[in-house]
Amino acid sequence: MSPVEVLPEMTIVWPSKWWLDSIVFNEPKRICLDLDGCVVQYDFPKIVKDFFGVDLSSQAIFAYDLADVLGVAPALINTMFKKQVYGEPNFTKGAIDVLKDWESKGHELIIYSNRVKYMGKSGLIGWLIGYEIPFTSITDGSGTYDIHIDDSPGKLMATDSKFKLLYSQPWNEKCLNVTGRLIRVNSWQEINDDLNKVCA
C-alpha cells in the first residue's frame, strides 16, 4: 500500500487597509462597477428552486459560476437568468446612496456587467435609467480603472484596475487570493467610509 501524501493547508492573509494610503479619493476617479452580487442582490436558492426544483442553501454556492456549482451546461444558466434580469432590482443596502454620492463628486461610474449578454447594451442602459441607478458609461472591461468593485475574483483580476475590491459573497469566500491583489470588502458602508477617510 503506497503512502498517502498529505498536502499542507494554504493560509492566505488578506490585505489590510494599505490601499487607502495610496489613493486620493477627492480627485475624480474611474470606478468600474459590477451590478449583480454588488449593487443588486438575488435570492439564488429561490431562483434555483423555481427553475430546477432543487433545494439549495446559500452556503452551497461555492463558486461564482453557477454552471459549475450545479453541474449543468452554461446555456441552461443563461436561460434561468434571462427571466431574472428584467425584474425589479433588490438593491444591496447602501449601494444606491453611495453611488449617488460618488456621482455628485464627479467620479466616473462605469458599469461592467454580464447583463449585457442578456439585455444588450441599449437594454441595459434603459434598465439603469428606469431604476435610477447612477452610471456614466458601460464597459466590456477593457479600459483602465482606478477602482474595480466586483463579486467575481476572475473578473477583477482580468481588468487593468489599480485597486480590486472583492465584494464578499458566499460564492467567493473560499477564494485563495494567491496574488494578494484582491481587497475584500463586506458592505457599501465599509467601502464608502474607507474612501471618505482618505479625502477627509
Q: What is the pLDDT of residues 22-45, one digit of tens each?
A: 566 668 899 999 999 999 998 888
Mean pLDDT score across all residues of the chain? 87
Three-state SS letters, the chain: CCCCCCCCCCCCCCCCHHHHHHCCCCCCCEEEECCECCCEECCHHHHHHHHHCCCCCHHHCCCCCHHHHHCCCHHHHHHHHHCCCCCCCEECCCHHHHHHHHHHCCCEEEECCCCHHHHHHHHHHHHHHHCCCCCCEECCCCCEEEEEEECCHHHHHHCEEEEEEEECCHHHCCCCCCCCCEEEECCHHHHHHHHHHHCC
Determine the pLDDT at residue 107. 94
pTM of the model: 0.84
> Is the confidence at residue 98, as pLDDT, over 90?
yes
Determine the pLDDT at residue 3. 54
Q: pLDDT grade, residue 200 (50/70/90)?
A: very low
Question: What's the mean pLDDT in 76-92?
Answer: 87
Q: What is the pLDDT of residues 151-191, one digit of tens each?
A: 999 999 999 999 999 999 999 999 999 999 999 999 999 99
For the chain, the domains span: 17-42+91-198, 43-83
Instruction: From the options 3.40.50.2000, 3.40.50.1000, 3.30.360.10, 3.30.413.10, give the CATH code of 17-42+91-198.
Output: 3.40.50.1000
